[in-house]
A and B are shown apart, each in its own frame.
Chain A
Amino acid sequence: MTVRERLRQNISAAFYRHGLLCASYPVPIILFTSASILTCCYPLLKLPLPGTGPVEFTTGVRDYSVPSHESQGNLSERPDWYRGPPVAYIQQVLVKAAVSPWDNSLVPVDVFRSPLGRVFSLLEEIRNHIYTDRSLEALCLQVTDLLPGLRRMQAVLPEHGCLLVSPGNYWQNRRDLFDADPDLLKTVHQHEPKGLHTSATLKDLLFGVPGKQTGVSLYSKKRVVTYTITIALSSYDARFVASLRARLKLLHPSANCTLREDHMVHVHFKEEIGIAELIPLVTTYIILFAYIYFSTRKIDMVKSKWGLALAAVVTVLSSLLMSVGLCTLFGLTPTLNGGEIFPYLVVVIGLENVLVLTKSVVSTPVDLEVKLRIAQGLSNESWSIMKNMATELCIILIGYFTFVPAIQEFCLFAVVGLVSDFFLQMFFFTTVLSIDIRRMELADLNRRLPAEAGMPPPKPGPLRPRETPPPPRPSPHTITLQAPAFRNLRLPKRLRVVYFLARTRLAQRIIMVGTVIWIGILVYTDPAGLRTFLAAQVSEQSPLGEAGLPPHLGVAPVFPGGDPTSTLSVLPAPEPTPLPENQSQGHRAARPGVAPVSSPQITWGPEDEELWRRLSFRHWPSLFSYYNITLAKRYISILPVIPVTLHLSPQEAIDTRHPQDTHHAPPPSIKTSDLQTDLTLYKVAALGLFAGVVLVLLLFCLYRVLCPRNYGQNGVPHGRRRRGDLPCDEYGYSPPISEISPLLLRGHSMDIECLASDGMLLASCCLAGSACEAESLLGADFREPGGVAMGGPDVDIFPIRRRTNPARPALFGDQPDLTPLIDTNFGSLPPSQTLSSSGFDFGELVEKAYQEHEPSPTLAFPPSPPASQQRRRSLGDQPVLPPELPPQSNGDWDSSVWAMELRGNLIATGRSSGKLEIYQCDLICCSYFLVSISLMKMEIVAARLNGSLDFFTVEINKPLGLLQYRGPPGRGSLPPSPCYSSEDVISCQLTRSVQCAHQKPITVLKAAAGRVVTGSQDHTVRVYRLEDSCCLFTLQGHSGGITAIYIDQTMVLASGGQDGAICVWDVLTGSRVSHVYGHRGDVTSLVCTTSCIISSGLDDLICIWDRSTGIKLYSIQQEVGCGASLGVISESLLVTGGQGCVSFWDLNYGDLLQTVYLGQSSEGQGVRQLLVLDNAAIVCDFGSELSLVYVPSVLEKLD
């Protein structure tokens, strides 16, 4: 034993113990894991929240000194970024100016023209201010060129000099240009971007206050103009700033101004993520999600797929969080951008282990205890998990030795992440998996209990206690399935996408989330703007209140003390601009009819202290970015504002007017324009409403047209499809109305019991107690119908014509041709009479020529109730059939036909009386109590209820030259079946008999490919070789009697039992390939195609299974009593019977293609038997009639 093997064994044992532990104590382990996750994530609370919003830090102005580069440990309240000098110190001079008193002779332009004009003198003052040989030029931040892309801003923003911006920049800081400007507003607004914008505009930058607060507008109600002169200083000189402040205050005193001046605010800007950086990031995240999607899609065979997928994702995510938390705990502050490396970390850590674990656990034998299953699954995969982990650690270690700091850090993270991921996989995920498996077993048990209860006890032995686990099954490959049914539906990709969108309503959700995010961005960037916008809307919409009673403006001059805002509001200061009080008063007195015109007031409130806060948070970064100075990860210091109040006399305003200013509309026209805007507002609102209603109606119509019903409900996990309420599937395709019309074949007086066909001929028999047959083929050798009639049920034989052009409506035209061929009831005729009248050569052969067998003594007892029940099931016919006593006489025609086979020209029927009868239009051969017979080429195998098997050989002595082939050789794919003409001498003899083939009654018998397969009540399936009737295998694995068997030429053998289980066997080796539980109650029929197995059960459910994996693809709910009627037309077309109709299903996708109604009324009898003929026709019983349905499209496809 090498070291490696020993190591492997040890690891395996350790994992086994660990699995036992996890599965034994799931709840404590999950609690422990959650606690450890939370503990490890705790340090994350200290990390700053992600986001690009700026961070502020306030210090006092007096004792300010430039912070040093070294971090000062004792000053813990200082943020990390507060080191070194700032990019710039921002000094704002906040100017509020108004023309007062307001006068009716003034035009709206006067509100801002003269106040703006004063900016030039202020600028002059600031530029020329000198304090002890320090000028602004020496202190200010010198800027160079603008960025190349900003040519259009060159005229406005300063270049090659101090960064000093003010509204005067619009006019290149030249008074003469300002005075010559005929339309100031146009100049201001020509630089505004069109449409919606979230970043700072040029107007914001130059005015330094939010656009709405500038008051530069024709309709300003307050008539106060606010703007700032913004100076960026590169170094801070407290004395210079103080002297500038003092000087400006002296020149333009602001009475009652209580702005605080002792705080400076440092604003730190995070790295801004631009769109260009976002695109690769988004791409990596999309790839990440695709990876997670494709990975979790592989989780199979568990109770809750979504739950486990969620657990897997949670495992990976929390391991990442844990790694970040642990790294922070140990002082490794992450310098990498977490969002960027995160996807790569997930990809490195991966979901593979989780998937491997799940797969390994679910493939352990189901009959083991959950604990043992988990332990086994874990230990099976232990070696590969450890190997992978070691490899990954090695790779990361190599990465660590690249000595590139970023890569080293990434590797460190990855190592911690890997280890924590391993921990979580072992503890968290394994436990979740064990819970899931346990839930599945419980569900499994619950599902199977009613089925067992509804079944007759298979053996009289002691009932198994229900608590005990199911008996161990020998095969190690047993898989119990409860896969979600919609999985593995092989839908085309586009449909899958559509389904996905429809199921998750992804589009709506994305739009909703997008809207919310957009609103969030709006509010976040410009809350003040939004609010003022709303306020403006409100005030504009109420013109009456405004005009009738100006809130306080009319009162304020008269009773200043009475104004509640008088502490903050200032009357026009008398000193700088002495009010022409009397003039104004007289003016008003002269026009008593005119409403008092408000005089503007300049107020200073605490909100003016930090007016920059109401700017966009990108205000400063964008200003600096124009000069290619980035503020990312740096900070600026904003000095307290210097307030400046300007009062201008009306005379001054009139003096500075531009000649064109008076051309503007006078104030009364404002009202009308207000009204107009109101009207347009209403118009827009009405139009919007109308458009919205139209859109909704349109969508509704679309919805109705495409999907009248059932929208989005088909994706429900159980995936059952009901015929009745499926007129339309999820993608809006509704199956077309029937174009295929069924052909009814009448001839039986009672319900049809058996159907058989060899492709050319169709034989049917009913319960009526008479047998008849008719045979013709394209008029080639038409015999008189009714040649032979014998006692017992009818047997009708119908010719089936191959249709060369099947889709044409001429189908109906052929109907009269067929009806005369149909033989009607001949049951009343005595056999001897018919024999003599038939005139066939074989008349004498009928005379008990083939009565080889005497009634065996075992037939003396009546059939046991389970047997008869079983028989009924296997044929899926009427439950009215009474269990009959086997009649002792051979010539009893009251017995019904239980089995029928048709090959070539021979019909073999097995009767309840125990007779085997062979007809060659007129042949009779009698036998015993037959359950099932199978007619091979020349051999007849008959199985009996007493468990014995009989092999007969039919010999036909043909006269030479009489061999003919029936049917036009149109289709080469079908072998022409030989015809046994009436000249043949047919003899049938018993060659072998296996007396004790089964311990209990044989229930099913199938033969193909040289093998005879029998299923019995004794829970076994036996495979015999046809030539020497040697028993090859006894297949054990069912826990109930066998009810259905399928075998075809390719040696595929499937069996279904009373336990609802379906087993697929390898006929060559006798081993069980797969074993699935699919039905509540018996499996009534089984069909295999190359890719899937179709089974139907007593629960009227048709299940479609994947043949190779044994996964249930989907199931179809049948109507009551029609469960067993199904047939496969081609690889992809399934046909099922229903109440008076047959339905076609697309086997690959599980879609209902079409429903064909057999009769006029939809509530006809159910289709209980259904036979698919080789030439793509379907024969089904419809009460006492036969219905022949051609499927033309399939023929087209075959062509």
Chain B
Amino acid sequence: MYSGALMRRGPYISMITNRTMNVLIRAAVLFMVGVFLALVLNLLQVQRNVTLFPPDVISSIFSSAWWVPPCCGTAAALIGLLYPCMDRRLGEPHKLKREWSNVMRCVAVFVGINHASAKVDFANNVQLSLTLAALSVGLWWTFDRSRSGFGLGVVIAILATLATQLLVYNGVFQYTSPDFLYIRSWLPCIFFAGVITVGNIGRQLALYEYKVSQEKTHQD
């Protein structure tokens, strides 16, 4: 029974320290975060266009294409795994304030940026773009400050915007808003901020793995 006690803890530790398992866990967590954020932020965007809700509001959460949240989740998992991996490859580990409270702050600011883009009425789209861009860069400066993070964020934001545009032109996906320019000015900045946020979460999760594996090597 004593060995049972050890084994009871054993699988847990080994699960954490097992590399592939750890990656899978991280990916799952990131996927969920991505899906959740996609749903919530989609709701924020829906609010902008409809002033009054019909009684069956809940269904409007899922009103957009069903495959959007899983896509966001997958993207989040990829990006969140890519960031720590890239840090390791480049050999410059991310040093800035590695704490969960900071990550939470980052997520809150990200949601805030979305909130602002959804709720605040801007005079024109240029103003919206500029404000969002400034906010996104501010987010990066406050929570990331790594060149690799910035580069990856920009690349992914551009790619994602292009992909969305392609989808829209091919008619696979349609915006709920008739104002097309509004969406276009809004999208890249949100993508950038999202990449930074998810990267932050991914790095923090990876830090966990790093700590545990370090302890393990000590034990060995």
Contacts and interface: CB of A to CB of B under 8 A. Distances in A.
Contact of A294 (B101, B123, B215): B101
B2 A347 contact: no
A283 to B, nearest CB: 5
Contact of B120 (A406, A632, A807, A1149): A406
A280 B56 contact: no
A186 B104 CA distance: 55
Interface string A730-745: 0001011101100000
Interface string B199-220: 0000000000000000100110
B47 to A, nearest CB: 6
B6 A284 contact: no
A298 B60 contact: no
B170 interface: no
B100 interface: yes
B1 A1154 contact: yes
Q: How large is the interface on A (under 10, 10 to 19, 20 to 34, 35 or more residues)?
A: 35 or more
Given A735-B5, A1154-B2, A276 B112 contact: no
Contacts of B2: 736, 739-740, 1144, 1153-1154, 1191, 1193
Nearest to A398: B134
Contact of A1131 (B58, B108, B134, B218): B218
Interface string A383-427: 000000000000100100011101100000000000000000000
B109 A347 contact: yes
Nearest to B135: A399
Contacts of B40: 279-280, 283
A640 to B, nearest CB: 29
A369 interface: no
Interface string A1120-1134: 000000000011100
Contact of A395 (B4, B107, B138): B138
Interface string A1178-1196: 0000000000000111001
Contacts of A630: 51-52
Interface in B73-120: 99-101, 103-105, 107-109, 111-112, 115-116, 119-120
Contact of B101 (A298, A628, A807, A1197): A298
B3 A1193 contact: yes
Contacts of B9: 492, 1146, 1149
A264 to B, nearest CB: 26
A1091 interface: yes
B122 A404 contact: yes
Interface string B29-57: 00000001000110110110001111111
Contact of A407 (B43, B99, B111, B120): B120
A461 interface: no
B111 A280 contact: yes
Contacts of B58: 275-276
Interface string A619-633: 000000100101010
Interface in A127-149: 147-149
B121 interface: yes
Interface in A837-877: none
B111 A294 contact: no
Contacts of A1131: 218-219
Interface in A206-237: none
Contacts of B6: 1153, 1193, 1197
B116 A291 contact: no
A404 B8 CA distance: 58
Contacts, number: 139
A63 interface: no
Contacts of B67: none
Interface string A251-289: 000000000000000000000001111011001100110
A290 B99 contact: no
A297 B100 CA distance: 10
A1132 B2 CA distance: 14
B127 A628 contact: no
Interface in A328-345: 340, 343-344
A837 B219 CA distance: 50
B108 A343 contact: yes
A1031 to B, nearest CB: 32
A736 B104 CA distance: 41
A291 B43 contact: no
A679 interface: no
B101 to A, nearest CB: 4
A148 B131 CA distance: 37
B66 interface: no
Contacts of A632: 52
A632 B51 CA distance: 10
Nearest to A148: B54
B115 A1196 contact: no
B12 interface: yes
Interface string B111-152: 110011001111100010011001000100000000000000
A294 B9 CA distance: 25
Given A291-B108, A630-B51, A1091 B218 contact: yes
A1130 B123 CA distance: 67
Contact of A350 (B55, B105, B123, B127): B105
Contacts of B107: 287
A292 to B, nearest CB: 8
B159 interface: no
B166 interface: no
Contacts of A344: 108-109, 112, 115
A1143 to B, nearest CB: 11
A284 B57 contact: no
A291 B115 contact: no
Given A276-B60, A283-B40, A347 B218 contact: no
A404 B120 contact: yes
A736 B4 contact: yes
Contacts of B181: none
Given A295-B101, A404-B127, A1146-B9, A283 B111 contact: yes
Contact of A402 (B55, B105, B131): B131
A298 B105 contact: no
B127 A625 contact: no
Nearest to A494: B12
B61 A149 contact: no
A442 interface: no
A537 interface: no
Contacts of B215: 1091
B5 A736 contact: yes
A347 B103 CA distance: 11
Contacts of B131: 402, 404, 407
Contacts of B105: 291, 347, 350
A150 interface: yes
A625 B51 CA distance: 11
A433 B16 CA distance: 39
A630 B61 CA distance: 21
A288 B115 CA distance: 15
Contacts of B41: 280
Nearest to B1: A736
Nearest to A807: B3
A649 to B, nearest CB: 43
A343 B104 CA distance: 12
Contact of A276 (B5, B10, B47, B99): B47
A287 B61 contact: no
A1090 interface: yes
A381 to B, nearest CB: 16
25 contacts: A148-B54, A149-B55, A274-B53, A275-B57, A276-B47, A279-B40, A284-B108, A287-B111, A294-B104, A295-B101, A298-B101, A340-B115, A343-B112, A347-B105, A403-B123, A404-B121, A492-B9, A492-B12, A735-B5, A737-B1, A1091-B218, A1132-B219, A1146-B5, A1197-B6, A1197-B10
Given A148-B54, A287-B111, A1090-B218, 6 more contacts: A280-B41, A280-B115, A294-B104, A347-B108, A406-B121, A625-B52
Q: Which 4 residue pairs are nearest across A and B when measured between Cβ atoms? A: A736-B1, A294-B101, A1193-B3, A291-B104
